[in-house]
Amino acid sequence: MSLLPLAQAQERVLTQIDALPTVRLRIGATRGLVTTHAVTAKEDIPPFANTGMDGFAVRSRDIEEASEQRPATLRVVETIAAGSVPSRTLDAGEAMRIMTGAPIPAGADAVIMVELTETSVSSAGDETVICRAPAPVGNHVRPAGDDLRAGTEVFGPGTVLGPAHIGMLASLGYEELDVVCRPRVGVFSTGDELVVGAAPLGPGQIRDSNRPQLLALLDEAGMVPIDLGRLPDDEQVIEAALQEAAERCDALLTSGGVSMGDFDFVKSLLQRLGHMNWMQIAIRPAKPFAFGTVLGTPIFGLPGNPVSSAVSFELLARPALLKMMGRHDTQRHRIVALADEPLVRRPDGKTHFVRVQVTESVDGAPRVRSAGGQGSHQLSGLAFANGLAIVPDGDGLDTGDRVRVIMLG
Ligand code: AMP
Ligand code: MG
């Protein structure tokens, strides 16, 4: 059976995936989600001219000659705290004490910072400020609309909302926003050999590590992970579980039961209930993979070996689920690095995704070394890796060779 190039497998999946519908959410719940409309500034930010420093609001002209030797003296006529408003216009020869963020009084056109001044109070209780430096017009003044002008587009549709976007939305008075839904993704594990949690292992049994790992990968990608447990080897129970899951979730992930030799109930049921495409992809690890729909819900059949299921998620499920979220940037960050040791392999018609540790180097390209055992069952090699080095078919790489790396996490 000839192997399918990875790009074709990815294409088969992506063409069948659409973005989810729009939902209106409180802005605090939108991190990682994608805007459906342009966001416009409803008001000026900042809304009024204010000071960026604690100091004294002055008329620049009044202190233009001020120096250490010949300081200028002004009468302090008022104190303006952030959140209060000046009671009157500033006149010639006057200063107002002003706190960062407080409005600039009419008549003032500059702020001199407190560190360049000294104050004194006369016996009659009149306060004066001595300015030891000039303050040019506009000094420390943040004009209204200096950040954003009312009516301007702040960000367009298709923007992935990060913490700073959410801060901006709040500063503009948005409480809610229309975004593409966050996908609810259910995860099953399959296989009679699997033991969940700390229960003692019987002969031939191993612990279920794929489900917790996949749930965490979903969480990391900003999706809603839904733990659907382990499917027992009972056809009726599996059928009911798959149907319920297909209704509850926007997408489903299973692990195990997609390899050539395997023919378990999950596989035969998906064959019957779903429209599945069983693939053998020209990659290592994660050669077997299935994708289709069950009752209209996309389902990703990931391979069972723990490293394979994670790599399969990275290369095939994650981009598709991000597309569901309305994202256009569905790829992880990639870099070009130099092999810091030989990355040995044999020709086998497949692209290898080698678990590597990428280290920064001060004097050039980052370096990569193997992160440990490269077997598809050796999860420790993946746990110690921060990248997947893409090693093309052939005899591998020598020290100093350039290698493309998909950065993880
Ligand atoms: P399969 O694809 O079902 O033939 O499984 C391939 C290998 O992955 C076998 O060694 C399984 O025991 C193992 N495996 C399957 N599912 C899991 C899981 N949820 N956690 C850990 N290992 C698994
Ligand atoms: Mg199995």
Largest CA-CA distance found in the chain, in angstroms, rounded? 100
Which ligand has the nearest atom to the CA of 308? 1
* Long-range contact set of residues 332-335: C-beta below 8 Å, sequence gap at least 24: 332/406, 332/407, 332/408, 333/406, 333/407, 334/404, 334/405, 334/406, 334/407, 335/366, 335/387, 335/404, 335/405, 335/407
Return the minimum-mean-pLDDT range out of 13-22, 56-65, 209-218, 266-275: 266-275
pLDDT at 407: 98
Look at ligand 1, atom 14, and give the residue with the nearest C-alpha. 304
Whether the CB of 305 sits within 6 Å of ligand 1: yes
Residues in the chain: 409
**Residue limits of CATH 3.40.980.10 in the chain:** 6-21+182-324
Classify residue 198 as left (phi > 0), alpha (psi -120 to 50) or beta.
alpha
Query: Pairing between strand 127-131 and 72-80?
Result: antiparallel
Centroid of ligand 1 to alpha carbon of 305 (angstroms): 5
Whether the CB of 257 sits within 6 Å of ligand 1: yes
Whether the CB of 287 sits within 6 Å of ligand 1: no
Q: Give me the chain's average pLDDT, please.
A: 95
Which among 215, 255, 262 is the best mutation to test ligand 1's pocket, defined by most ligand atoms within 8 Å of the CB? 255
pLDDT at 337: 97
pLDDT at 265 over 80: no
Q: Tell me the per-residue pLDDT of 49-65, one tens digit each, with 9 for 90 and over.
A: 999 999 999 999 999 99
**Residue limits of CATH 2.40.340.10 in the chain:** 334-407
Centroid of ligand 1 to alpha carbon of 332 (angstroms): 26
User: How many beta carbons lie within 10 A of that of residue 37, not counting itself?
Assistant: 13
pLDDT at 261: 59
What six digits make up the tokens of 303?
């391979």
Beta pairing partners, 294? 274, 297
What six digits make up the tokens of 40?
């416009």
Q: Quote the CA–CA distance of 272 and 201 in Å, as a whole number.
A: 33
Centroid of ligand 2 to alpha carbon of 227 (angstroms): 18
**Angle subtended by helix axes 235-248 and 265-273, to nearest 10:** 50
Return the minimum-mean-pLDDT range out of 8-17, 139-148, 230-239: 230-239
Whether the CB of 134 sits within 6 Å of ligand 1: no
Whether the CB of 62 sits within 6 Å of ligand 1: no
pLDDT at 260: 65
Q: Quote the CA–CA distance of 5 and 3 in Å, as a whole number.
A: 6
Work out which ligand 1 atom sits closest to the CA atom of 255. 16
pLDDT at 269: 84
**Rg value, the chain, Cα:** 31
Determine the straight-line distance between the first and last CA of the chain, rounded to whole angstroms: 34
Q: Tell me the per-residue pLDDT of 114-146, one tens digit each, with 9 for 90 and over.
A: 999 999 999 999 999 999 999 999 999 999 999
CA distances from 220 to 10, 217, 245, 409 (A): 21, 5, 21, 8
Q: Tell me the per-residue pLDDT of 282-295, one tens digit each, with 9 for 90 and over.
A: 999 999 999 999 99
Mean pLDDT throughout 232-258?
90
What six digits make up the tokens of 65?
């000659």
Work out which ligand 1 atom sits closest to the CA atom of 261. 4
pLDDT at 192: 84
- Closest among 220, 224, 309, 310 to 258, alpha carbons compared: 309
The H or E element that residue 135 is part of is none
| Statement: 6-21+182-324 belongs to CATH 3.40.190.10 | no
Query: Pairing between strand 39-40 and 184-190?
Result: unpaired
Measured in degrees and rounded to the nearest 5, phi and psi for residue 302 equal: -90, 155
CATH number of 334-407: 2.40.340.10
**Residue limits of CATH 3.90.105.10 in the chain:** 28-44+153-180
What six digits make up the tokens of 39?
């966001």
Which ligand has the nearest atom to the CA of 215? 1
Q: Domain 50-142 sits in which CATH superfamily?
A: Molybdopterin biosynthesis moea protein, domain 3. (2.170.190.11)
Would the CA dihedral through 345, 346, 347, 352 be positive or negative?
Answer: negative
**Residue limits of CATH 2.170.190.11 in the chain:** 50-142
pTM: 0.92
More confident residue, 102 or 190: 102
pLDDT at 172 over 80: yes
Question: In CATH, what is the architecture of 28-44+153-180?
Answer: Alpha-Beta Complex (3.90)
